[in-house]
Structure 1
């Protein structure tokens, strides 16, 4: 898969380690940077590229992962989830069809972050009776507002 990655300056070293890890899983990675202290700028650039389907998925980092999640979710067609355990990372894809995950370098250790990224990237959303209607409702609301 093609993965878009970005972060704020606080998460630069963390992001670099995660990029190498994602590459080791066999994915192509594009780094959208980390120089802008306004994390919303890089988060929306990643989200726009993922929503435009230039990339299959995105991974964003900041201190908690919350700020970049909020910014990414402002982009139409971007669905970002802040993940904190393996189950949430898997369900972000399987239940919610999220195309971006976010992680916090100040709250999630490097080894756990790698497990979360791997868990997320190893899943594929398949529309089903249980989750499909819920995801459809989110997309429909977005299209109408």
Structure 2
């Protein structure tokens, strides 16, 4: 399965573990960031993941942040995306 995954700085370490797990189990992960635990704006990451999913570049998207609420709100602004 093709997946796009992204996190803000608060989810960076968890994202890395998820990417390693999924890649090790035969999935392809397009990691759109962030690439460190330096502060980033979560809407930018949600936008990148949502655009990939809307464009059909990925079968699914995974968004990770401190609570999940901000990412879900930002992603749900895109037609065809349902984040919870």
TM-score with structure 1 length normalisation? 0.53
CA distance in 1, matches of 2:4, 2:81: 12
- The number of residues matched between the two structures is 81
Does the CA-based 8 Å contact 1:48-1:78 persist in structure 2? no
**Matching residue of 2:7:** 7
1:39 aligns with 2:42: yes
After TM superposition, the runs of 4+ consecutive aligned structure 1 residues lying more than 3 A away are none
Q: Which structure 1 residue ranges, 5 or more long, are not aligned?
A: 82-145
Q: Secondary structure at the match of 1:67?
A: helix
Instruction: Give a deviation string over 1:85-129, Cα, whole Å, max 9, x none.
Output: xxxxxxxxxxxxxxxxxxxxxxxxxxxxxxxxxxxxxxxxxxxxx
Deviation, 1:26, is: 1.3
Q: Which structure 2 residue ranges, 5 or more long, are not aligned?
A: none
TM-score with structure 2 length normalisation? 0.89
| Structure ranking higher on relative contact order (CA contacts 8 Å, 6+ apart) | 2
